[in-house]
Amino acid sequence: MSDRPFHLDVRGLSCPEPVLRVKKALDSGLDRQLNVLTDSHIALENISRLARYAGFTVKSEEQDGQYCLLLCK
């Protein structure tokens, strides 16, 4: 498996779809970094909560209303 991060773009999706897509990626046995791009502060909070519960560390950055999350195990 590649050591490159997996990217997931959930911009424009209404809750709970962004969280469900991230959960699916995490449940698939992802053992590397996951980069998530969202445009919703609510999705940012919910995805961060889910990832931390699953044992991932979360780093986030905001720029022009876009949020980039880096989830690492």
The larger pLDDT score, comparing residue 73 to residue 59, is at 59
How far out from the chain centre does Cα 57 lie? 11
Above 90 in pLDDT, residue 43? yes
Above 50 in pLDDT, residue 1? no
Average pLDDT over residues 40-69: 96
**What per-residue confidence (pLDDT) applies to 28?**
86
Contact 44, 67 (CB under 8 A): yes
Instruction: Provide the 8-state DSSP code for 28.
Output: T
**What per-residue confidence (pLDDT) applies to 3?**
59
Q: Domains in the chain and their CATH numbers? A: 6-72 (3.30.110.40)
Above 50 in pLDDT, residue 44? yes
